[in-house]
Chain A
Amino acid sequence: MSNKRIRIDRFYQFMTYSAASIAVIILSMIIIFVISNGSGLLNFGLVVNDYHAKFYNGGIDNNITFSQTERPESLTSEIYYSEKWGIGLIEEENREGNTIISVEYIDIDSPLRNMRDKNNDNNSLSLSEGSIVSSIKFYDKNSALTIHGAEHMINELDTSDDFREIVYSSLGGGVRGSIITTLYIIGLTLLIALPIGIFTAIYINEFAKKNRVTSLIRSMIEVLTGVPSIIFGLMGLAVFVPLTVKYTQADSANLLSGSLTLAVILLPIIIRSTEESLKVVPDDFRTASLALGANHTQTTFKVVLPSALPGIMTATLLAIGRIIGESAALIFAIGTAIKDDISIFGKSTTLSVHIWSLMTDEPANIELASTIAIIILIIVLVLNLIVKLIAKRFTKNFG
Chain B
Amino acid sequence: MENTVFTINNLNLYYDQFQALYGIDMKIKRNEVTALIGPSGCGKSTFLRCLNRMNDLIEGCNITGEVKFNEKDVYMNSYDVINLRTKVGMVFQKPNPFPMSIYDNIAYGPRCQGIKDKKVLDDIVKKSLTKAALYDEVQDRIKGSAMSLSGGQQQRLCIARAIAMEPEVILMDEPTSALDPIATLKIEELINDLKKNYTIIIVTHSMQQAARISDKTAFFLMGVLIENDSTNKIFTQPKNKKTEDYITGRFG
Q: Which A residues have a C-beta under 8 Å from some C-beta of B?
A: 282, 284-285, 287-295, 298, 302-303, 306-307, 397-399
Interface size on B, residues (CB 8 A): 27
A379 to B205 CA separation, bound complex (whole angstroms)? 59
- Contact assessment for B100 and A397 in the assembled complex, using a CB-CB cutoff below 8 Å: yes
A47 to B115 CA separation, bound complex (whole angstroms)? 52
- B147 contacts partner chain A, Cβ-Cβ < 8 Å: yes
- B:154-185 near A, CB below 8 Å: 158, 161-162, 165
Contacts across chains A and B counted by CB atoms under 8 Å: 69
- B:57-89 near A, CB below 8 Å: 57, 82-83, 85-86, 89
- Contact assessment for B100 and A288 in the assembled complex, using a CB-CB cutoff below 8 Å: no
A-B contact pairs, 21 of them (CB 8 A): A284-B96, A285-B99, A287-B54, A287-B92, A287-B96, A288-B98, A290-B54, A290-B85, A291-B54, A291-B162, A292-B108, A292-B112, A292-B161, A294-B108, A294-B112, A298-B112, A302-B112, A307-B99, A399-B99, A399-B100, A399-B147
CB-CB < 8 A to B57: which residues of A? 287, 290
A214 to B44 CA separation, bound complex (whole angstroms)? 34
A58 to chain B, nearest CB (A): 66
A259 to B82 CA separation, bound complex (whole angstroms)? 43
Interface string of B4-28 (1 = CB under 8 A from A): 0000000000000000000000000
Partner of B145, one of A291, A292, A306, A399: A399
- Contact assessment for A289 and B98 in the assembled complex, using a CB-CB cutoff below 8 Å: yes
CB-CB < 8 A to A284: which residues of B? 92, 94, 96
A197 to chain B, nearest CB (A): 23
Q: Which B residues have a C-beta under 8 Å from some C-beta of A?
A: 52, 54, 57, 82-83, 85-86, 89-90, 92, 94, 96-101, 108-109, 112-113, 145, 147, 158, 161-162, 165
- Contact assessment for B90 and A291 in the assembled complex, using a CB-CB cutoff below 8 Å: yes
- Contact assessment for A293 and B96 in the assembled complex, using a CB-CB cutoff below 8 Å: no
Partner of A293, one of B92, B112, B147: B112
A193 to chain B, nearest CB (A): 27
Q: Given A292-B85, A293-B85, A295-B82, list of 12 further CB < 8 A pairs?
A: A282-B96, A284-B96, A287-B96, A288-B96, A288-B97, A289-B108, A291-B89, A291-B162, A292-B86, A294-B108, A302-B112, A303-B98
A294 to B107 CA separation, bound complex (whole angstroms)? 12
CB-CB < 8 A to B162: which residues of A? 291-292
A292 to B82 CA separation, bound complex (whole angstroms)? 8
A291 and B99 contact, Cβ closer than 8 Å, known pairs A284-B92, A302-B108, A302-B112:
no
A24 to B89 CA separation, bound complex (whole angstroms)? 54
A306 to B105 CA separation, bound complex (whole angstroms)? 13
Main secondary structure of the interface of A (DSSP, over half): helix
CB-CB < 8 A to B54: which residues of A? 287, 290-291
- Contact assessment for A398 and B99 in the assembled complex, using a CB-CB cutoff below 8 Å: yes
- Contact assessment for B165 and A292 in the assembled complex, using a CB-CB cutoff below 8 Å: yes
CB-CB < 8 A to A282: which residues of B? 96
- Contact assessment for A285 and B112 in the assembled complex, using a CB-CB cutoff below 8 Å: no
A302 to B111 CA separation, bound complex (whole angstroms)? 10
- Contact assessment for A293 and B83 in the assembled complex, using a CB-CB cutoff below 8 Å: yes
CB-CB < 8 A to B52: which residues of A? 291
- Contact assessment for B85 and A285 in the assembled complex, using a CB-CB cutoff below 8 Å: no
Quick one: which of A293, A306, A398 has the most chain B CB within 10 A?
A: A293
Partner of B109, one of A285, A287, A294, A397: A294
A284 to B108 CA separation, bound complex (whole angstroms)? 15
CB-CB < 8 A to B109: which residues of A? 292-294
A284 to B54 CA separation, bound complex (whole angstroms)? 12
A386 to B237 CA separation, bound complex (whole angstroms)? 69
A398 to B92 CA separation, bound complex (whole angstroms)? 21
CB-CB < 8 A to B113: which residues of A? 293
Quick one: which of B83, B89, B108 has the most chain A CB within 10 A?
A: B108
CB-CB < 8 A to A306: which residues of B? 99-100
CB-CB < 8 A to A285: which residues of B? 96, 98-99
Closest 7 CB pairs of A and B: A293-B86, A399-B99, A284-B96, A292-B109, A291-B90, A294-B112, A293-B85
B115 to chain A, nearest CB (A): 12
B27 to chain A, nearest CB (A): 23
B161 to chain A, nearest CB (A): 7
A198 to B101 CA separation, bound complex (whole angstroms)? 25
A303 to B105 CA separation, bound complex (whole angstroms)? 10
Closest to A281 in B: B99
A280 to chain B, nearest CB (A): 13
CB-CB < 8 A to B98: which residues of A? 285, 288-289, 303
B145 to chain A, nearest CB (A): 6
CB-CB < 8 A to B83: which residues of A? 293
B54 to chain A, nearest CB (A): 6
A217 to B155 CA separation, bound complex (whole angstroms)? 40
CB-CB < 8 A to B96: which residues of A? 282, 284-285, 287-288
A292 to B100 CA separation, bound complex (whole angstroms)? 15
CB-CB < 8 A to B161: which residues of A? 288, 292
A398 to B162 CA separation, bound complex (whole angstroms)? 20
CB-CB < 8 A to A289: which residues of B? 98, 108, 112
CB-CB < 8 A to A292: which residues of B? 85-86, 89, 108-109, 112, 161-162, 165
CB-CB < 8 A to B86: which residues of A? 292-293
CB-CB < 8 A to A294: which residues of B? 82, 108-109, 112
Quick one: which of A282, A288, A292 has the most chain B CB within 10 A?
A: A292
CB-CB < 8 A to A398: which residues of B? 99-100
Closest to A303 in B: B98
CB-CB < 8 A to A293: which residues of B? 82-83, 85-86, 109, 112-113, 165
Quick one: which of A288, A295, A307, A399 has the most chain B CB within 10 A?
A: A288
- Contact assessment for A288 and B165 in the assembled complex, using a CB-CB cutoff below 8 Å: no
CB-CB < 8 A to A288: which residues of B? 92, 96-98, 158, 161
B241 to chain A, nearest CB (A): 37
CB-CB < 8 A to B165: which residues of A? 292-293
A290 to B145 CA separation, bound complex (whole angstroms)? 21
